[in-house]
Amino acid sequence: MPKTSSKDKRDKDDLWRNFPKTAPEFEARFATEADCIAYWIEARWGGTPACAKCQGTRLWTERDGILFECRDCGHQTSLTSGTLLEKTRKPFKVWFRAVFEISSRRNGISAKDLERIMGFGSYKTAWTWLHKIRAALVTPDREPLSKGVEIDEAFVGGKRAGKSMVLVATETDGRIRLAHALTNDAETLKAFVDASVAPETTVTSDGHAGYNATSLGERDHDAIVQTPAERRVKDSLQTIHWTVSQLKRWLLGTHAGAVKPRYLQAYLDEFAFRWNRRKTNGVGRIAARTIGNLVNHAPLTIRAIIQGATPYPHFVAAKYTVPELTA
């Protein structure tokens, strides 16, 4: 994949800033399929389509502007090839509308509601669209937490689906990271901490023995053991507890507590994405980020979504090929 230049970054930041912020602005900006295609080309190539094989820009345009053939190497590149929307048969206008519907709701949207709003022919279609969009919410190069981090574990789920462990790391009144874990042993905690927390950050925990030099490395560590009475006066993990409370409410409210363990990580990613952007000025900017991530994410088939579990990517994969994650 070609490196992103400073100019490319500025261009994408401009797209983000200029994206419609309200529903009326969105309807006016993307009134036609051509409007959506033009924006997609800007988001993917900076306005000039390039060959996926040789990166050349001398292209023949075919099939009403959705397919390009390279004059230099003969390779054909479609608007969606190599992206999360590869092989989609739906118009870009429908995808853009779905992204806006999902992004504009503070608490998200269930597959059943998306099916009803978008007029899809089946619940399965709405469910797979939601999972495709969730897959694009987390970018691999996101910055680690750094402003004084609280870390703990929580359990979510009910009797029917079973309880699942979630590792939680939060900045004080800032960003969060969430991971579905099968255990809180030192190896698992180290993988989560190394992926989520900057090396120079001070970590506050509840005194669990797993948070030690093995899992935390050389990070400064405040292990604070509190009684219930002490927590009522000043909770050392207040941000963690707020986050977990909101997460449970979201899973029960928006998704009726019906999230299976094999899909839990995808929902955790969506919740973290929303939480980290709760102060963003204008829901349209959240939609812009999502569309940009659809451009940069590798293709994902419906079969892969339905059959494959989605473990936290920094854990050892072998440990997560167990019934809990594939049930």
CA gap 204, 222 in Å, rounded: 5
Q: Are residues 85 and 169 in the same domain?
A: no
* CATH number of residue 180's parent domain: 3.30.420.10
**Domain C-terminal end among 79, 109, 135:** 135
The pLDDT of residue 86 is 94
In this structure, are residues 149 and 203 in contact, taking their beta carbons and an 8 Å threshold? Answer: yes
Assess contact for 153 and 165: CB atoms under 8 A: yes
Q: How far apart are CA 256 and CA 253, in angstroms?
A: 5
**Gap between the Cα atoms of 154 and 241, Å rounded:** 9
Ramachandran sector of residue 318 (left: φ over 0; alpha: ψ -120 to 50; beta: rest): alpha
Segment 112-164, tens digit of pLDDT: 999 999 999 999 999 999 999 988 888 877 899 998 999 999 999 876 557 89
Q: What is the pLDDT along the chain (327 residues), one digit of tens a residue?
A: 444 455 555 566 778 788 888 889 999 999 999 999 999 999 999 999 999 999 999 999 998 889 999 999 999 999 999 999 999 999 999 999 999 998 888 888 999 999 999 999 999 999 999 999 988 888 877 899 998 999 999 999 876 557 899 999 999 878 999 999 988 988 899 999 999 999 999 999 998 999 999 999 999 999 999 888 888 889 999 999 999 999 999 999 888 888 888 889 999 999 999 999 888 877 788 889 899 999 989 998 888 888 766 778 888 655 655 445 544
Cα within 13 Å of Cα(283), Cβ side:
16
The per-residue pLDDT for 326 is 47
Chain-centre distance for alpha carbon 310: 12
Is 162 part of any domain?
A: yes
Residues 192, 320: one domain? yes
Look at residue 172 and tell me if it is in a domain: yes
Q: For the segment 63-83, what is each residue's pLDDT rounded down to a tens digit? A: 888 999 999 999 999 999 999
Is 202 a domain residue? yes
Residue where a domain terminates, one of 111, 135, 159:
135
For residues 79 and 126, state if they share a domain: yes
What is the DSSP pairing of strand 203-205 with strand 149-156? parallel
Considering the domain boundaries, does residue 171 fall inside one? Answer: yes
- Domain identity same for 70 and 181: no
Angle (nearest 5°) at CA 291 between 285 and 293? 105
Is residue 291 in some structural domain?
Answer: no
Give the domain extent around 12: 6-135
Give a yes or no: residue 290 inside a domain.
Answer: no
Q: Which of 135, 160, 176 is where one domain is finished?
A: 135
Q: Are residues 100 and 217 in the same domain?
A: no
**89 & 162 share domain:** no
pLDDT (0 to 100) of residue 11? 62
Same domain, 85 and 209: no
Name the nearest CA neighbour of 227 among 203, 206, 204. 206
Per-residue exposure over 78-108, b if at least 16 CB sit within 10 Å of its own CB, e if not: bbbebbbbeebeeebbbbbbbbbbbbbeeeb
Does one domain contain both 177 and 322? yes
- Strand ranges (DSSP E) for the chain? 59-62, 67-70, 76-78, 149-156, 164-171, 176-181, 203-205, 221-223
Question: Whole-angstrom Cα distance, residue 215 to residue 217?
Answer: 6
> DSSP label at 115?
H
Q: Is residue 300 part of a domain?
A: no
The answer on 211 and 126 residing in a single domain is: no
CB 193 within 8 A of CB 217: yes
Residues 39 and 154 in one domain: no
- Residue 223 included in any domain: yes
CA distances to 122, 138, 206 from 239, rounded to whole Å, are 39, 21, 13
pLDDT confidence of residue 1: 41
C-alpha distances in Å from residue 23, one per residue of 42, 74, 163, 253, 280: 21, 41, 38, 24, 16
Could you tell me if 35 and 164 lie in one domain? no
When divided into structural domains, the chain yields a total of: 2
Q: Are residues 41 and 164 in the same domain?
A: no
| pLDDT attached to residue 12 | 65
User: What is the pLDDT at residue 126?
Assistant: 94
Tell me, what DSSP letter sits at residue 318? G
pLDDT at res. 161: 57
Element (H, E) at 323: helix 323-326
Q: Please, which residues have CB within 8 angstroms of residue 214's CB and are 6 or more apart in sequence?
A: 186, 190
